[in-house]
Amino acid sequence: MDVQSSQRHAGPLSRERADIDYKNELNSEQFAVVRDAEGPCLVLAGAGSGKTRTLVYRVAWLIAHGTPADRILLLTFTNKAAHAMLSRAAALVKGEVKGLWGGTFHHIANRILRVYAGKLDFKPQFQILDEDDAERLMRSVLVTEGPHAAGSVFPKADAVRRVLSFAANSGISIEHAIDDHYPQFIKFKNFFPEFARAYEEKKRAMNAMDFDDLLVNLLRLLEQFPQVREKLSSRFKYVLVDEYQDTNRLQAGITHLLASVHGNLLVVGDDAQSIYSFRAADIGNILEFTDRYPKAKVFRLETNYRSRPEILTLANESIRHNSARYKKELRTSRKSGIVPLLASAPDPEAQASYVVAQVLARAEAHMSLHDMAVLFRASHQTLELELELAKHDIPYLKRGGLRYFEQAHIKDVLGYVRILANPADELAWRRVLQLYEGIGAQTADRIWRLVKQSPDQYLTIADEMKEMQGLSSRVERGVGEVWDDLRAFAISAVKGPGEIITAVLARRYREYAKDAFDDAEERILDLETLANFANRYQDLSALLADAALGEGFRGEVKGASMAQDEDKLILSTIHQAKGLEWKTVFVIGLVDGHFPNARTLERGKELEEERRLFYVAVTRAQEELILTYPETSYLSSGYLLGRPSLFVRELPKKVYQRWMIEDGGGDDAGMIDIDEEGDNADGILGKVIKTMRR
């Protein structure tokens, strides 16, 4: 319908690409979305149903029919998804996506807030705090504001921050968040508002926002400044959102307002793949979309192009144990293949050597490593596997766990950059100061209190410092070195951000790293790469913002430093694997206590989310699915005699084949009969045997 009308506004139609044959390259369900998604639209798309493809073609269609790329906003959930989608769209329309706004919510919020920071009383160079920063800042709040009653077990900084974060993201009060989601903190409820206030105050003083603030402040900006809202939402003629099931209330509010002028809001999601409720993602956004937008068109993509029917059967059998869901059964267009395998190993070592043997067998049969992936619930589950892979010289890339920018050496060095960019950055000061011999938490605190009084004159403070009482000569020397260094780095700063890092490395950190880390060489190499990368920026705060948001770096820097197209096996958390697919998928560690996670086993509501996670994992597989679990494994409390995961036990036996892995040669923990059908009644603790061994 709108094809003709939008063509009329198309301007120079000569550029329209006749070479995309939409009808042929898409199925009829997908084509309907690409052609008709005007106004509010909800696309319910099952796993592997070509949802990314549909979005990419929709973008191409819009551009081909005259919408300038810079009037399209494409919101995705991860940086990786954003890049993948933009490059696919670029390939389709031959580079005409330039100017398209695409990225994560946080990325887009950052971009908009840089322009309008002033309206919210931030300076435009505001600093972004990553999770580690936020936790440290909260820790310093608890030191001053926390109750000092000895012996009282008080929630840790990270826990406090989580509560506040959850409240912010779901748009509920702190009290409410504690009552409903963190009942263990009810007796401390009265303290939280005070912590929140002190935390806010510290952030303000630093001109800093944490991840949540990016969303909160963008929403506030749109709500409180109608001219801004008008301007932005007029600009974005089309707003497209991927993975809508994982958006939270703030994000739904933001998309609502950004699309408020044109009303063209296209959201795509799958309620069965909602796995981020711990971050306050709200399935209600999808389930109630048609209530919020009564005129919304609803599309369904229910044909799976990815997986063999045997794999899909297993997935469907699993997800049907969940009660809260849209009724939807995935059909596959593919021919019958191999029945999924469930393999049990005596211990994690045997599990690892089994996976490696299977990988090697496939590699020998000329399968590329990048066509296989090993998925897991939590990143520490790969320990044995990584050892085994190293032993066999198999190159791999692990996703999940510590991020590049959260590693100590990176944060240390960027600490100097942060001080130079923003001398009011309390966290950077504390971190950098404690790198020096003789300066610990106490001295760092005293120095910071002095700096705080006039941050902009920090270079001249050194003299006052000397007059501080009771400085031992060791401390005094340390303080002297700090300022000598800072003066030197301030001079390098003129030449660009990369020069600062080079100078830090040359003047101090190279030596420091050799003492502090046993893998110093690798880390120094890392930092040299970082220096190179940083030189692409002129603006320190732009560099730091991208660092905090994880933008660009992981893929580019690391990829460039390694052999670019070396074939690698992917190890990934299931969360990071969302939206991806491989021919062969291993899901390891399927034991009660690990997956489902011990914490969620105790709470019924979260168990459904955990099951959706399992669903996401198995639906990544195209040809082959191999599930494994160790019969004994390891929890912080001791050995866990595992029974296979609930998610496996509840499946009908006919959907998988069974396989027993022989002991790989590691020390045998003794054969114990696993009660596979075991009743759920005895909690996992009953199965934990404390051992003295460690």
Asked if 525 contacts 375 with a C-beta cutoff of 8 angstroms, the reply is no
For 660, list phi and psi in degrees, rounded to 5.
Answer: -105, 125
358 CB-near residues (< 8 Å, 6+ apart): 586, 626
Range in contact with DNA (rule: CB under 7 A) among 85-93, 183-191, 229-237, 274-282:
274-282
Q: Output the CA torsion sign for 263, 269, 270, 276.
A: negative
**Residue with smaller CB distance to DNA, 131 or 581:** 131
Residue 419 corresponds to which amino acid?
A: I
Taking Cα atoms as reference points, which of 54, 548, 130 lies closest to residue 302? 54
Instruction: Mark whether 521 is an active-site residue.
Output: no
**Minimal distance, residue 139 CB to DNA, in Å:** 6
469 touching DNA, by CB under 7 A: no
Binding mask 634-673 for DNA (x = CB under 7 A): --x-------------------------------------
Instruction: Mark whether 51 is an active-site residue.
Output: yes
Sort 239 into a burial class: Cβ within 10 Å, 0-12 / 13-18 / 19+: buried
C-alpha count within 13 angstroms, C-beta hemisphere, residue 307: 31
Instruction: Mark whether 290 is an active-site residue.
Output: no
Asked if 389 contacts 356 with a C-beta cutoff of 8 angstroms, the reply is yes
- Catalytic choice (53, 411, 620, 687): 620
284 CB-near residues (< 8 Å, 6+ apart): none
- Catalytic choice (212, 243, 384, 610): 243
The two three-digit tokens of residue 369, written as one number: 């490593």
Among 83, 114, 119, 139, binds DNA (CB under 7 A): 139
Among 9, 123, 176, 380, binds DNA (CB under 7 A): 380
Instruction: Mark whether 273 is an active-site residue.
Output: yes
- Catalytic choice (30, 52, 573, 600): 52
Number of CB atoms found within 10 A of residue 7's CB:
14
What whole-number distance in Å separates Cα of residue 150 and Cα of residue 470? 29
Residue 234 corresponds to which amino acid?
A: S
444 touching DNA, by CB under 7 A: yes
**Minimal distance, residue 294 CB to DNA, in Å:** 31
Cis peptide before 596 (omega within 30 of 0): yes
- By CB under 7 A, the residues from 562 to 591 that bind DNA are 573, 575-576
Binding mask 382-411 for DNA (x = CB under 7 A): -----------------xxxxx---xx---
**Minimal distance, residue 116 CB to DNA, in Å:** 19
558 touching DNA, by CB under 7 A: no
- Catalytic choice (51, 237, 611, 612): 51
**Residue with smaller CB distance to DNA, 44 or 275:** 275
Range in contact with DNA (rule: CB under 7 A) among 10-18, 225-233, 440-448, 640-648:
440-448
Between helix 211-224 and helix 157-170 the angle, nearest 10°, is 30
Q: Any bridge partners for residue 248, and if so which?
A: 281
Among 377, 508, 643, 687, binds DNA (CB under 7 A): 377
**Minimal distance, residue 647 CB to DNA, in Å:** 14
- Catalytic choice (135, 242, 485, 610): 242
Tell me how far the alpha carbon of residue 347 is from its chain's centroid: 30
**Residue with smaller CB distance to DNA, 184 or 457:** 184
**Residue with smaller CB distance to DNA, 20 or 542:** 542
Q: Output the CA torsion sign for 53, 57, 59, 60.
A: positive
211 touching DNA, by CB under 7 A: yes
| Per-residue DSSP letter, 597 | B
**Residue with smaller CB distance to DNA, 615 or 656:** 615
Among 97, 157, 250, 372, binds DNA (CB under 7 A): 157
Residue 282 corresponds to which amino acid?
A: D
**Minimal distance, residue 380 CB to DNA, in Å:** 6
Q: Output the CA torsion sign for 124, 130, 131, 132.
A: negative
The two three-digit tokens of residue 476, written as one number: 């005094």
**Minimal distance, residue 690 CB to DNA, in Å:** 11
Tell me how far the alpha carbon of residue 208 is from its chain's centroid: 20
**Residue with smaller CB distance to DNA, 138 or 239:** 138
**Minimal distance, residue 401 CB to DNA, in Å:** 5
**Minimal distance, residue 406 CB to DNA, in Å:** 8
What whole-number distance in Å separates Cα of residue 614 and Cα of residue 597? 11
- By CB under 7 A, the residues from 100 to 129 that bind DNA are 104-107
The two three-digit tokens of residue 20, written as one number: 């995309």
- By CB under 7 A, the residues from 596 to 625 that bind DNA are 597, 599-600, 606
**Residue with smaller CB distance to DNA, 77 or 656:** 77
What whole-number distance in Å separates Cα of residue 58 and Cα of residue 301? 14
Coil, strand or helix at 239: strand
Tell me how far the alpha carbon of residue 573 is from its chain's centroid: 10
Instruction: Mark whether 469 is an active-site residue.
Output: no
Among 10, 378, 490, 580, binds DNA (CB under 7 A): 378
**Residue with smaller CB distance to DNA, 185 or 293:** 185
438 touching DNA, by CB under 7 A: yes
Sort 148 into a burial class: Cβ within 10 Å, 0-12 / 13-18 / 19+: exposed
**Minimal distance, residue 479 CB to DNA, in Å:** 10
**Minimal distance, residue 320 CB to DNA, in Å:** 22
What whole-number distance in Å separates Cα of residue 300 and Cα of residue 256? 21
Binding mask 51-90 for DNA (x = CB under 7 A): --------------------------xxxx----------
Instruction: Mark whether 53 is an active-site residue.
Output: no
Residue 464 corresponds to which amino acid?
A: E
231 CB-near residues (< 8 Å, 6+ apart): none
Q: Which residues are catalytic?
A: 51-52, 242-243, 273, 620
Query: Which spans of this chain sit near DNA (rule: CB under 7 A)?
Result: 77-80, 104-107, 131-132, 139, 156-157, 211, 275-276, 278-279, 377-380, 399-403, 407-408, 434, 437-444, 474-475, 549-550, 573, 575-576, 597, 599-600, 606, 636
